[in-house]
Amino acid sequence: MPTVTLEDARRVIAAAEKKADEIGQPMNIAVVDSGGNLVAHVRQDGAWIGSVNISINKAWTSRAFDITTKDLGDNSQPTQQFFGIHTTNGGKVAIFAGGIPLSRDGEVVGAVGVSGGSGEQDHSVAEAGAAAF
Amino acid sequence: MPTVTLEDARRVIAAAEKKADEIGQPMNIAVVDSGGNLVAHVRQDGAWIGSVNISINKAWTSRAFDITTKDLGDNSQPTQQFFGIHTTNGGKVAIFAGGIPLSRDGEVVGAVGVSGGSGEQDHSVAEAGAAAF
Amino acid sequence: MPTVTLEDARRVIAAAEKKADEIGQPMNIAVVDSGGNLVAHVRQDGAWIGSVNISINKAWTSRAFDITTKDLGDNSQPTQQFFGIHTTNGGKVAIFAGGIPLSRDGEVVGAVGVSGGSGEQDHSVAEAGAAAF
Amino acid sequence: MPTVTLEDARRVIAAAEKKADEIGQPMNIAVVDSGGNLVAHVRQDGAWIGSVNISINKAWTSRAFDITTKDLGDNSQPTQQFFGIHTTNGGKVAIFAGGIPLSRDGEVVGAVGVSGGSGEQDHSVAEAGAAAF
């Protein structure tokens, strides 16, 4: 069995889409598995095209470091311990809110990444998605 | 109205998944809009992780040049008129079967890209997806 | 438990190194896990520095498509069904001999990649590594 | 004789692994030679996959500029003399703690890079590795 099945990813995305609809902000939503590889992505009608890669990168980042991109961002500001991490890994590291790890039995097995609104909106939509995992 | 709505993309992907299930080969399936930007992607359980990007690139390529990647490939072999095109555009140009334009009223408005099996399998799954557009 | 532990990777690398020593050709040897992510790499003294990335890419490729890079290469020559695949995925796809999937209970869970000699030498060293998995 | 032999690299890595085990934080550890080219890398079980490249980049950076990445980081903050250096060299320059040069007879001949924990943890594990050189 894969760590995050396509069915899992669709459930996470559906919950995230519902939240995005509620707050009225179209979003890009991506889910990756334990290896950081994409399982599924959707761009809601009207969502920013520049956010396609950002949603995928946020999901990758959250799995790659087992942390929300919001918390990673706090540690990646100038003078903080991880400042500069955003230019590693070929530009795949996202350091602003919207990526959240997906855990099963206390272990991170994947992640969801959301991009299309404010940092607060992206994070809340990702939370709604993660809660459905 | 977007040129390819998320609902359109989901219908194309569902038809492609059905075909992939029938031939018993798990696939990556991607749909892009008229701007070549990703609308949706799925990786079926067990499909190759190396095919995530290839499916997206096949879709982008088919919209970027309004041609199937199979036909573009025929023109991109050594000594043919487009040989070398696969290294342009940052490596996004795919020159093997699996990408098919999506048309409406005689105009290309997007594309579907499939990767996960032989060239013949990828193309037939993409055809099933395109037929549902 | 990870799919390929560091202990597994070291056992594979040790067997590959032994084979490389026997044939007198210093090698780069890399092992990736089920997500295609690097577990361990060694460059034997005197091995080509240009082969560092090639060994890692061969391992990634073999896991990404569940195939030896030798077989993938046969299908990726001009006019063959996958010609052009080597420029996808940011240049990570290697299409010459030296990458072999690592399987457990009939399922590919990682791969070994070897680079530093002729294609035949690379493949035989990778085979020795894979046999120790 | 290579500047940093594989045997050297393994001794450095073993010492670094011992330290990582003591502090209970799984790490990626990489060693490069005088040319900045990778000699060996290990990812301990459970260490972040996003840290594979960072460990290699920290090692490269420490050799490329003959400085710890911690000290380079101090000089690379906004308003400091090297601010912006992290986006040069194709993203290979790491400007946060964890990379330490390896010296012999007063000359830098290689470097070790560590990534997987806090900046302080990464640096202390790299120090343990460097001390074994």
Per-residue pLDDT tens digits for B27-38:
999 999 999 999
Instruction: Decide if D81 touches C, using CB distance below 8 A.
Output: no
- What per-residue confidence (pLDDT) applies to D78? 96
Tens of pLDDT, residue by residue, chain A (133 residues)? 679 999 999 999 999 999 999 999 999 999 999 999 999 999 999 999 999 999 999 999 999 999 999 999 999 999 999 999 999 999 999 999 999 999 999 999 999 999 999 999 999 999 999 999 9
Mapped onto helix, strand or coil, the DSSP state of residue B102 is strand
- Whether the CB-CB separation of A111 and A67 falls below 8 Å is answered with no
Instruction: Decide if B13 touches C, using CB distance below 8 A.
Output: no
Mapped onto helix, strand or coil, the DSSP state of residue B95 is coil
Q: Which of D3, D8, D37, D54 should one mutate to test binding to chain C, selecting the residue with the greatest count of C CBs within 10 A? A: D37
Task: Say how many residues make up chain B.
Answer: 133
Instruction: State the average pLDDT over residues C5-28.
Output: 98
Instruction: State the average pLDDT over residues C95-115.
Output: 97
> Which element (helix H / strand E) includes D76?
none
- Whether the CB-CB separation of A31 and A131 falls below 8 Å is answered with no
End-to-end Cα spacing for chain C:
16
Q: Which has the closest alpha carbon to C54: C71, C30, C72, C38?
A: C30
Q: Is A78–D77 a contact, with Cβ atoms under 8 angstroms apart?
A: yes
- What per-residue confidence (pLDDT) applies to B8? 98
Mapped onto helix, strand or coil, the DSSP state of residue C99 is strand
Q: Which domains does chain B have, with CATH numbers?
A: 6-131 (3.30.450.150)
Q: Is D48–A66 a contact, with Cβ atoms under 8 angstroms apart?
A: yes
User: ipTM of the assembly?
Assistant: 0.96
Q: pLDDT digits over D43-90, tens only?
A: 999 999 999 999 999 999 999 999 999 999 999 999 999 999 999 999
Backbone phi, psi, residue A30, to 5°: -130, 150
Residue D1 has pLDDT above 90, yes or no: no
Nearest CA in chain B to A10: B42
Q: Which of B21, B43, B44 should one mutate to test binding to chain A, selecting the residue with the greatest count of A CBs within 10 A? A: B43
What is the four-CA torsion angle of D59, D63, D64, D68, rounded to 10 degrees? Answer: 80
Q: Is B6–A42 a contact, with Cβ atoms under 8 angstroms apart?
A: yes
The pair of structure tokens assigned to B118 is 């032989």
Task: Please list the ranges in chain B whose pLDDT falls under 50.
Answer: none
Mapped onto helix, strand or coil, the DSSP state of residue C38 is strand
Q: Which has the closest alpha carbon to C36: B127, B50, A16, B4?
A: B50
Nearest CA in chain A to C90: A90
- What per-residue confidence (pLDDT) applies to C2? 73
Instruction: Decide if A49 touches D, using CB distance below 8 A.
Output: no
Q: Report chain B residues whose CB lies below 8 A from the CB of A49.
A: 35, 37
Q: Is A81–D97 a contact, with Cβ atoms under 8 angstroms apart?
A: yes
The pair of structure tokens assigned to C107 is 């399922």
Q: How far apart are CA A58 and CA A110, in angstroms?
A: 11
Which of the four pLDDT bands, split at 50, 70 and 90, describes residue C81?
very high
Q: pLDDT digits over D90-109, tens only?
A: 999 999 999 999 999 999 99
Residue D2 has pLDDT above 90, yes or no: no
Instruction: Decide if C6 touches D, using CB distance below 8 A.
Output: yes
Chains A and B touch (3+ CB pairs under 8 A): yes
Residue C3 has pLDDT above 80, yes or no: yes
Rounded to the nearest 10 degrees, what angle do helices D119-131 and D6-23 cross at? 140
Backbone phi, psi, residue A33, to 5°: -95, -170
Q: Which has the closest alpha carbon to C113: C47, C54, C66?
A: C54
Residue C16 has pLDDT above 80, yes or no: yes
The pair of structure tokens assigned to C44 is 């034997």
CA distance B51 to chain C (A): 8
Chains C and D touch (3+ CB pairs under 8 A): yes
Instruction: Decide if C91 touches A, using CB distance below 8 A.
Output: no
Q: How far apart are CA D58 and CA D47, in angstroms?
A: 16
Q: How far apart are CA B8 and CA C73, in angstroms?
A: 36
Q: How far is CA A42 from CA A48, B109, C59, C99, D94, in A?
A: 12, 18, 30, 33, 33
Q: Which of D65, D83, D85, D86 should one mutate to test binding to chain A, selecting the residue with the greatest count of A CBs within 10 A? A: D86
Backbone phi, psi, residue A40, to 5°: -160, 155
Place of tokens 């003399």: D81
Residue C1 has pLDDT above 90, yes or no: no
